[in-house]
Amino acid sequence: MVLKLLLYRKGMLRISVTGESYDRFLNLCANHGIALWNLEYHGNAYEMDISVQGFRMLRPLVKKSRTRVRIIRRQGLPFFLYRCRKKKMLFAGLLCGILLLYFMSCFLWRIDIEGNQQITRGQICRYLETVHIENGTRISVIDCKELAAMLRKQFDAFTWVSVKQEGTRLLIQVKESTDPEANVKNNEKKETEGINSANLPTDLIADKNGVITSMITRKGVPMVSVGDTVKKGDLLVKGELEILDDSGEVSGYQYCASDADIFLKTSYEYREKIRLKRKEKHYSGKEKQKIGLRVGKWQMYLPGAGKKMQTFDTVTEMHPLCIFQNFYLPVSFEKQQFFEYTYETVTLTEEEASAMAEKDLYDFLNKIQEKGVQIFENNVKIEFDTNYCIAKGSVILIEKAGKSVERITTE
């Protein structure tokens, strides 16, 4: 393989030898160290390959052997460059293209995220932008291990994160926790870790109104008890312990970061209105499409989409340019489809409106339960007036309360 590359770089010839004494010609070439290979006999002539340097040494040997030599084919880089001597701009463009591809390979042009369900792609991408990871970022500044650790710290729902850089593509694979209550606890812990990490004295105050249903104090002095009604901002647990002397008088104070599990019975007023006469989309079946090219943030579309529709939905398909596996460029082909629709006025029956209101309430209560909140009582009723179906009432919840605030020490 190496020999072939060297011969290609220096150039080689395919020659035809005719005459009276082939044997003498071959012997003379061997005596003078001229290499010949791929010998073939065709009719009254021998054909063989020879290097350019060897060919230049043939003139005296041809005279001695009374043979004639004719060049059949020229091969190798020198002959290729000679044939292309008038195409300098072509080679200049080819060289610029290679340099441009090399330059583009130093940047990130695609981010793929797999395994996320609770946390949307938009949330992850917005966070990546805050840490300066986006399309166009230099690959050399991306630390995959550090980025994986940052994502785990930022999103408590992630139990496992893997970040891989493949070509100009960044692949983020995640696994999420299936326990919403655990996620809520992690979020609550994260909100107060900035205070508690410095071992500062803290109090627990109420972050909502309600009646205390249970209370377990681990650190601090409880200032309320089960059954008490508290308002937002009331002190629940004090992070200040009195130190008494032998006479029973206060001689000083010991401070701590208050810690307790406090659950309140709270009331949430629910109200939703559904209009009985409403406008709904009706698709006419008329469709249009246009094809375009996107380079970075620049877009260009081919003409011919026709007259623009008044009201329509748009579906965009993007096909990024990938030269090799995982070698993406900031170039994509786009196809936009437009689906025309009109609005039609529809009057709901009481049964239909009631079913919609019940579904909305069911979805609302499910979202609350996913956050680890217990539903104690549902007092929502559905009523009708001339124009609306109204779902209103109170929902009694049992939810965790308490917010850490720094306590000012008493000297």
**Model pLDDT, residue 165:** 92
Nearest to 161 by CA among 144, 149, 174: 174
Dist CA 349 CA 8 (whole Å): 84
List domains and CATH numbers for the chain: 2-83 (3.30.70.260), 110-178 (3.10.20.310), 199-268+402-406 (no CATH), 278-347 (no CATH)
**Model pLDDT, residue 397:** 92
b/e code 108-129 from CB counts within 10 Å (16+ = b): bbbbebeebebbeeeebeeebe
Q: Tell whether the model's pLDDT for residue 203 goes beyond 60.
A: yes
Task: Name the average pLDDT for the chain.
Answer: 86
Dist CA 165 CA 328 (whole Å): 12
DSSP letters of 295-319? ETTEEEE-S---SPPSSEEEEEEEE
**Model pLDDT, residue 408:** 60
**Model pLDDT, residue 278:** 86
- What is the H or E stretch that residue 392 is in? strand 388-401
Tell me the two tokens of residue 236: 């629940």
Nearest to 327 by CA among 114, 124, 102: 102
Give the per-residue SS3 of 67-110: EEEEEEEEECHHHHHHHCCCCHHHHHHHHHHHHHHHHHCCECCE
Lowest mean pLDDT among 166-180, 228-242, 382-396: 166-180
Dist CA 406 CA 154 (whole Å): 24
DSSP label at 257? B
pLDDT interval class at 247 (50, 70, 90) = confident
**Model pLDDT, residue 183:** 53
pLDDT interval class at 195 (50, 70, 90) = very low
User: Who wins on pLDDT, 15 or 8?
Assistant: 15
Q: What is the mean pLDDT of residues 278-295?
A: 88
Lowest mean pLDDT among 154-163, 216-225, 300-309, 381-390: 300-309
What are the pLDDT digits (tens) for 47-96? 999 999 899 999 999 888 889 999 999 988 888 877 777 777 877 888 89
**Model pLDDT, residue 23:** 86
**Model pLDDT, residue 372:** 82
Q: What is the mean pLDDT of residues 295-308?
A: 77
